[in-house]
């Protein structure tokens, strides 16, 4: 049985723990802060071992796979130890995507993500499709993969969530816009943040689509100097 360690006891971490338990991993969740009573009840209900208030290295560094909550920076001490031991550290989005064949629309950008995600979900639902909405909205993607049977998902994705992907790819990716944000997580280099946003398209093929604001300077510059296999669909204000 493979050991799955979850770092962070919030929505995404608890969702990943539920999915991991369902897929017969040996699951352990650790949060250096406090876990809300709501989530502790969920973990106890699913018989998932957890700790709060500290990280016990001996219970974490024996993992086969680690799912890290997006709020935990790559430079956190426990993450650096895991990477030193070459233990894979991925996001909940990466983990959950391995267990669904649903069509995925992934939406990122510095502004407008939530509005665009809710509008897209509304349109698809109005077309009588069974669609889940997740990412930074509502129940976690992982929990929905574990408990629902949606044919499609619309995911609102932050740069932090995209930093933790390896093979995840949306069939349709949308980048609303890019402006300087969260630069403390990116060595105060705007280009690192832009690259992080474009991870949404890194695994796309010619059968997939990238919808983007053609008037956004950061997006236009990236596309001039980099390539994606996705079919490009620009929009203009």
- Residue (of 58, 41, 159, 148) closest to 107 by Cα position: 159
pLDDT in tens, the chain (237 residues): 899 999 999 999 999 999 999 999 999 999 999 999 999 999 999 999 999 999 999 999 999 999 999 889 888 999 999 999 999 999 999 999 999 999 999 999 999 999 999 999 999 999 999 999 999 888 999 999 999 989 999 999 998 899 889 999 999 999 999 887 656 665 667 788 888 899 999 999 999 999 999 999 999 999 999 999 999 999 998
| Domains of the chain and CATH, by start | 3-90 (3.40.50.720), 95-235 (3.40.1190.10)
- Residue (of 52, 20, 48) closest to 35 by Cα position: 52
Contact 173, 211 (CB under 8 A): yes
Active site residues per annotation: 113, 136, 182
What does pTM read for this prediction? 0.92
Contact 6, 17 (CB under 8 A): yes
């Amino acid at each position: 049985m493979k050991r799955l360690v979850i770092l962070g006891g919030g929505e995404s971490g608890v969702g990943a723990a539920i999915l991991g338990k369902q897929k017969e991993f040996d699951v352990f969740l650790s949060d250096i802060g406090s876990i809300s009573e709501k989530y502790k009840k969920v973990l106890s209900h699913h018989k998932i071992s957890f700790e709060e208030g500290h990280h016990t290295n001996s219970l974490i560094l024996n993992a086969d796979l680690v799912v890290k909550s997006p709020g935990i920076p790559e430079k956190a001490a426990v993450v650096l130890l895991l990477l030193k031991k070459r233990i894979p550290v991925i996001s909940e989005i990466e983990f959950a995507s391995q267990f669904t064949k649903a069509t995925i629309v992934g939406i990122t950008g510095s502004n407008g993500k939530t509005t665009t995600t809710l509008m897209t979900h509304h349109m698809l639902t109005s077309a009588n499709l069974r669609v889940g909405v997740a990412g930074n909205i509502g129940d976690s993607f992982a929990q929905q993969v574990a408990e629902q049977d949606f044919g499609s998902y619309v995911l609102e994705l932050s740069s932090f969530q995209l930093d933790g992907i390896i093979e995840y790819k949306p069939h349709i990716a949308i980048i609303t816009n890019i402006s300087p944000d969260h630069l403390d997580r990116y060595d105060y280099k705007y280009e690192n943040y832009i690259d992080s946003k474009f991870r949404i398209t890194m695994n796309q093929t010619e059968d997939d689509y990238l919808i983007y604001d053609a008037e956004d300077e950061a997006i236009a510059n990236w596309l001039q100097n980099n390539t994606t296999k996705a079919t490009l669909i620009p929009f203009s204000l």
